[in-house]
Amino acid sequence: MTRTETPPPALVDSHCHLDFPDFDGDRTAMIDRARAAGVTRMVTICTKLGNEPSVRAIAEAHDGVFYAAGIHPMSVADEPAVTADTLIALAAHPKFVGIGETGLDYHYTADSARAQQASLRVHIDAARQTGLPLIIHARDADDDMARILSDEYRNGGPYTCVMHCFSSGAPLARAALELGFYLSMSGIAAFPRSTALREIFAAAPLDRILVETDSPYLAPPPHRGRRNEPGHVVHTAAVGAGLFNLSEADFATATSANFDRLFTRAAA
């Protein structure tokens, strides 16, 4: 009798940056490694609209690779102001699945806070009009982030959203969850000193959890300190499974279903 190996559970890397030059030498091989690890789909994120054609080309060239586009908050001061109409036009592409990443980052770029807030509201408007999920980056801006997300949702109209690479405090997590949004686990959640962050995820509803790499950044153990890639999401997912007392297969099934519910264009 021939022994058959059980395939790895199917996972989704909901946020990565496949266009970054870190992958120029082995991009296709890296995507193949991810598939071999069980990562069946991935969303590559464009952070500057001038790079959108190259990001789109990667998605077009690979089955199971989708893309999103926006202006990263750290780039707002250096990029032309985006309009909702521009984002809506990009969203016509069948592999375009989300708006962003956008958000607020006061860690390095607090001097552009007002411009970041204005840009965030434009992205929210585009997400609302297209029905595609908003992809949020938040760093050292929890109060303003919670205020703007809530204000736009309650006064401008509902929209869907994922708090990508969530590593903020519990109050922002609660504010996002109360609006029906999702929290995405990155490799940070697997770092040994991230106990408080793991507690935030463990207290969240399982049906609001996604997983991601944010590669080439934030590689989880045992790859920490080296280039991250989509296949490494399996290590973060293993940590997530432990938080919810699930098998890795059941956690993969749950987070993939969550991804399908949020990223409807990329649904399996």
**Binding annotation for a divalent metal cation:** 15, 17, 101, 137, 164, 214
Which stretches within 181-247 are classed as H helix? 195-203, 233-243
Q: List beta partners, residue 16.
A: 44
For the annotated binding site, the residues are 15, 17, 101, 137, 164, 214
Contacts of 32 (CB under 8 A, 6+ apart): none
Amino acid identity for residue 176 in this structure: A
Nearest one of 226, 217, 227, 142 to 187, comparing CA atoms: 217
| Cα 243 versus chain centre, distance | 20
Burial of 114 (0-12, 13-18, 19+ CB in 10 A): exposed
| Closest listed residue to residue 149, CA positions, set 107, 121, 115 | 121
- Alpha helices for 80-112 (secondary structure H): 84-90
Task: Say how far apart CA 22 and CA 198 lie, in whole Å.
Answer: 29
Among residues 18, 26, 111, which one has the least CA distance to residue 73? Answer: 111
- Give the start-end residues of each E strand in 36-95: 39-46, 65-69
CA 202, CA 264: separation in Å to the nearest integer? 25
Let me know if 145 is exposed, middle or buried by CB neighbors in 10 A (0-12, 13-18, 19+). buried
